[in-house]
Amino acid sequence: MHKKLFIPGPTEVFPHVLEAMATPMIGHRMKEFTALMDEVVPKVQKVFYTNNFIILSTSSGTGMMEAAVRCCVNKKALHTVCGAFSKRWAEISKSNGKEYDVIEVPLGKAIKPEMVEEKLKTGQYDTFFLTHNESATGVMHPLEPFADLLKKYPDIVFCVDAVSSAAGVKIEVDKLGIDFLVTSSQKCFALPPGLAIAVVSDKALKRAETVKNRGYYFDILQFKKYWDTKNHQTHTTPTISHIYALNKQLDKILNEEGLENRFKRHIEMANFVRKWVKENFKMFPEEGYESITLTTGENTRGISIAKVNEELAKRGAAIANGYGDLKEKTFRIAHMGDLTMNDMKWLIEQLDDILKKM
């Protein structure tokens, strides 16, 4: 029995997406692929309110996180760590031999702009990394205060991990001055895993020209070269089936549902689940920084989250346990992608019934 996924990725994939992935194959050096990219890329730009360069990478979001590090850090990076996935970005800098510093807060807490400014004003850094939505803790950072801060430091490349928020939350890339935004297919875009998307500014591209040892596969200048000189193609063989599915999904997002309605739906689902968590447990994230795409609850009852999921599986669904050190101490309910309020109401009914019997 298929378990409907209420986990923070991979998310539930609907039939129209799966059908699009079965489109007969074309060659990535054919004019048909150029035509496909010419359809998809402007639609991606609309989702992100941007005119910047779009990269479609055959990788997880982590691949484009590594691209940001390899291509943008020349002097020293400043990473902000509030959970497992923001910590991963700092570890990527370390593993690539980059100079970096970290601002770290306890799990469940949010990074504050004043913490960042204290570091940036030293003049040591040329790249700043922020995780918009830390799916390990359910903390979401408002981007506007950081965007305003970075305007004081025009030479710093502003990199944002929006893996678990993009296409579920409004992110106006050009207005915010984001230079490198990373996301991936298996979260709010509601596609199967395997495709990463990056939005890259001219400033980031120019920075890359000054950075040595960028590698090849994730070199953003290679992506740009093949876009500019090779008929809007990619420098290596891409996951064409995912791009067909993305094209289909973007039509649904932009033309059938509409962006504003999509963002509103995510907020409504978040409010509904938060209310239930507050009535039955306790919210884990710091107040005012709760994620819109997933809700993390603190396991104040001390029950077995694994047991809850076993019972839920019998009913055809799955939520997520806490991540890493938070396993069994927290639980995570995702409300992202193409899930609806009816889905969330059904899930809560099942959880209420399970909790009564525990």
Across the chain, what does the average pLDDT equal?
98
User: What is the C-alpha to C-alpha distance for residues 141 and 131, in angstroms, rounded to an integer?
Assistant: 8
CB within 8 Å of 235: residues ≥ 6 apart: 222, 223, 225, 226
Report the predicted TM-score, pTM, of the whole model to 2 decimal places.
Answer: 0.97
Domains, the chain, ordered by start: 4-9+258-356 (3.90.1150.10), 15-255 (3.40.640.10)
CB within 8 Å of 356: residues ≥ 6 apart: none
**Encoded amino acid at 18, one letter:** L
Longest Cα pair distance anywhere in the chain, in angstroms? 63
Contact 156, 203 (CB under 8 A): no
| Residues 118-152: tens digit of each pLDDT | 999 999 999 999 999 999 999 999 999 999 999 99
CB within 8 Å of 106: residues ≥ 6 apart: none
Q: Which long-range contacts (CB under 8 A, 24 or more apart) does 177-180 make?
A: 177/147, 177/150, 177/151, 178/143, 178/147, 179/72, 179/203, 179/204, 179/207, 180/68, 180/72, 180/204
What percent of the chain shows pLDDT beyond 90?
99
| Residues 193-239: tens digit of each pLDDT | 999 999 999 999 999 999 999 999 999 999 999 999 999 999 999 99
How confident is the model at residue 1, as a pLDDT? 81
